């Protein structure tokens, strides 16, 4: 019973008006074909594919799940047929280099495609989605021979890819990896070990799966400094790309999970499987970050996708469900009760969902432009500048948007009341599916430590200063009448945004000073600091959307209600959600002793 209509108008609002994608594309001759007409056609056709092919498989796939039989994994009914249509339509190759069979369109356009696919059916979208990270890793760190051998098949979608990091004894702490890589005389390596939680690690959609595997060479240093990276195909491949024998990569089991049941999460056993080194020896983790950053932005998108799907369905339900009368009097006197959308608390939940979905989409699309800049950088200096920007934003996106996605889907379930707890409506599935997003690719706590510990304190806040400067420049420009005829309407956003941004910088300095005296402050403050940062970052994009909406309304634009809704949602965000920063500021500055003062015996006292 889940319904989904791709929000193409909102996507085009961001692409065309807020972030000026076409001007951005004109900066790169390689993107010359990304014209407004072509982009519009791609969005419309992708919307049809997602609405007509993927959405109908969402609930049925959850109910059926993946089947495991002696190492063989069968995906739910309809998944393989949908994947074949996906490949035939050229969707996998959309944003990949022409030299490997891709269409050469911008990665940012691929992100829009990924959003629609993920909203319609996240479990299905994970199968081709994991391939993008594997492809980016090979493209960035592989030899020319490796690129020619693997990228064409991955680009066309006849093969898929995975990343194999986690093992039974370690999660995020990859310094504990035990998988071995034993050198052979022919330059290959025998890979021995077990990897767990491998998304799309085994399935029946493609003829081969290319695993990107972390392992240790003999005599390698302990910890993360001694990890190398290997390409290990499920089926061995000769130099011409022909499939040969099986490669001693077996699926020992698939996990029985809370959600995303239609996506196989595999236990993979490597029993002297043949692999080849990718990148320098003992630098595997550095190379893997190419894959991990891609995956983390994709995981951030999951929070937005889940929020959007929950919002669309709870909105439809709230308009139709009759219960009690509005406090201000009957709204539908000819009916036994008023629709629940007339009740303020329901409106608050719906508006929160809308603000999270559209604000999160803006954050993703802003970041997608940075990904374009990294991919197309002509100099190492330009690439590093863009990469530093992405490195600062990524942990905020991944953790903040997935946490907010969980909140939004919970609101959606609440709007449905008791019906939200019943499987047929699909709301409880969205809640189950999105919950993993705060866990994989680094939990919220890990992302928070990365942000505050590595991206802020170790760099003396360099990236924060750069981002804050951008925000404050926007505030200054929009507060000047000569540059902004909508200054009066924008004041309510500009004042709050500039004040919060200044506070962000000040609190960061105070935390840095506190951390010099007590390192526990980093751990105790990090999650609250990340969420604090996320609310301010989202406020920046809501202010931009409001400004753009005012500009559009000053013309003869059609669909004027769309732009009015943008402004009203921005007002809601600034009045109802941004003030959460006040309590977060209080808690993130609190002394860590309240967390650490109980010893283990007292914590476990019953």
Active-site residue set: 441
- Measured between its terminal Cα atoms, the distance across the chain in Å is 46
DSSP 8-class letter at 167: B
Alpha helices by DSSP H, listed for 107-179, are 107-120, 122-141, 144-156
Name the burial class of residue 479, with classes exposed (0-12), middle (13-18) and buried (19+) by CB atoms within 10 angstroms of its CB. Answer: middle
Q: Dihedral sign, CA of 271, 276, 282, 286?
A: negative
| Matching residue, tokens 């960061």 | 508
- Residue 426 CB partners (closer than 8 Å, separation 6+): 1, 2, 58, 59, 313
The encoded tokens of residue 35 equal: 């014209």
Nearest-angstrom CA–CA distance, 506 and 496: 15
Letter string b/e over residues 267-278, b meaning 16 or more CB atoms within 10 A of that residue's CB: bbbbeebbbbbb
> What torsion, rounded to 10 degrees, do the Cα atoms 125, 292, 300, 99 define?
-50
CA 471 from centre of chain: 23
Beta strands 208-215 and 189-199, pairing class: unpaired
CA–CA distance, 358 with 552 (Å, rounded to integer): 18
SS3 181: strand
Are 132 and 212 in contact by the 8 Å Cβ rule? The answer is: no
The owner of tokens 């290990």 is 232
Instruction: Determine the distance from the C-alpha atom of residue 291 to the mean position of all C-alpha atoms in its chain, rounded to a whole number.
Output: 13
Closest Cα partner for 474 from 423, 425, 537, 530? 537
The DSSP bridge partners found for residue 73 are 68
Q: Helix (H, G, I), strand (E, B), or coil: what is residue 273?
A: strand
Show the 3-state SS of 528-588: HHHHHHHHHHHHHHHHHHHHHHHHHHCCCCCCHHHHHHHHHHHHHHHHHHCCHHHHHHHHH
How many other CB atoms are there within 10 angstroms of residue 247's CB atom?
Answer: 22
Residue of 264, 358, 249 whose CA lies nearest to 312: 358
d(CA 396, CA 300): 9
What token pair was written down for 445? Answer: 């706590």
CA-CA-CA-CA torsion sign (554, 557, 558, 559) = negative
């Amino acid at each position: 019973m889940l319904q989904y209509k791709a929000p193409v108008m909102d996507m085009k609002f961001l692409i065309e008006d807020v972030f000026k994608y076409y001007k951005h594309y004109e900066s790169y001759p390689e993107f010359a074909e990304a014209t407004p007409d072509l982009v519009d056609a791609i969005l419309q056709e992708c919307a049809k594919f997602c609405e007509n092919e993927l959405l109908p498989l969402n609930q049925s796939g959850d109910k059926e799940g993946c089947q495991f039989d002696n190492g063989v994994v069968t995906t739910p009914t309809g998944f393989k047929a949908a994947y074949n249509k996906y490949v035939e339509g050229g969707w996998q190759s959309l944003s990949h280099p022409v030299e490997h069979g891709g269409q050469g369109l911008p990665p940012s356009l691929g992100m829009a495609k990924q959003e629609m696919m993920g909203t319609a059916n996240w479990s299905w979208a994970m199968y081709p989605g994991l391939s993008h990270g594997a492809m980016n890793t090979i493209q960035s760190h592989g030899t020319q021979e490796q690129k020619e051998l693997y990228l064409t098949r991955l680009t066309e979608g006849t093969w898929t890819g995975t990343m194999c990091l986690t093992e039974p004894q370690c999660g995020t702490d990859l310094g504990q990896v035990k998988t071995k890589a034993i050198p052979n005389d022919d330059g290959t390596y025998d890979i021995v070990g077990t990897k767990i939680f491998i998304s799309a690690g085994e399935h029946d959609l493609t003829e081969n799966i290319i695993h990107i595997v972390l392992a240790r060479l003999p005599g390698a240093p302990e910890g993360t400094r001694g990890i190398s990276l290997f390409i290990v195909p499920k089926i061995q491949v000769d130099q011409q790309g022909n499939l040969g024998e099986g490669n001693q990569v077996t699926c020992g089991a698939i996990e029985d999970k809370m959600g995303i049941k239609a996506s196989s999460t595999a236990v993979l056993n490597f029993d002297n499987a043949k692999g080849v080194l990718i990148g320098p020896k003992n630098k595997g983790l550095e190379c893997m970050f190419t894959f991990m950053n891609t995956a983390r932005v994709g995981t951030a998108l999951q929070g937005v996708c889940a929020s959007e799907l929950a919002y669309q369905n709870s909105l439809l339900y709230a308009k139709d469900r009759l219960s009690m009368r509005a406090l201000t009097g009957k709204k539908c006197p000819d009916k036994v009760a008023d629709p629940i959308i007339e009740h303020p608390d329901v409106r608050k939940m719906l508006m929160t969902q809308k603000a999270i979905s559209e604000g999160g989409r803006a954050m993703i699309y802003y970041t997608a432009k940075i990904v374009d800049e990294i991919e197309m950088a002509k100099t190492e200096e330009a690439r590093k500048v863009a990469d530093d920007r992405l490195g600062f934003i990524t942990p905020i996106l991944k953790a903040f948007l997935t946490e907010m996605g969980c909140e939004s889907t919970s609101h959606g379930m609440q709007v449905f009341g008791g019906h939200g707890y019943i499987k047929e409506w699909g709301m409880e599935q969205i809640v189950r599916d999105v919950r993993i997003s705060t866990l994989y690719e680094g939990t919220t706590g890990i992302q928070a430590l990365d942000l505050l510990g590595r991206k802020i304190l170790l760099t003396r806040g360099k990236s924060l200063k750069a981002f804050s400067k951008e925000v404050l420049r926007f505030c200054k420009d929009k507060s000047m009448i000569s540059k902004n005829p909508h200054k009066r309407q924008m004041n309510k956003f500009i004042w709050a945004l500039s004040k919060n941004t200044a506070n962000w910088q000040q609190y960061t300095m105070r935390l840095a000073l506190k951390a010099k005296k007590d390192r526990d402050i980093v751990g105790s403050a990090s999650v609250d600091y990340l969420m604090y940062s996320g609310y301010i970052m989202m406020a920046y994009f809501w202010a931009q959307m409001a400004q753009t909406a005012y500009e559009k309304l000053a013309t003869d634009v059609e669909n004027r209600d769309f732009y009015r809704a943008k402004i009203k949602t921005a007002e809601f965000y600034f009045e109802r959600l941004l003030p959460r920063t006040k309590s977060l500021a209080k808690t993130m500055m609190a002394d860590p002793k309240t967390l650490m003062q109980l010893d283990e015996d007292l914590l476990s006292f019953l």
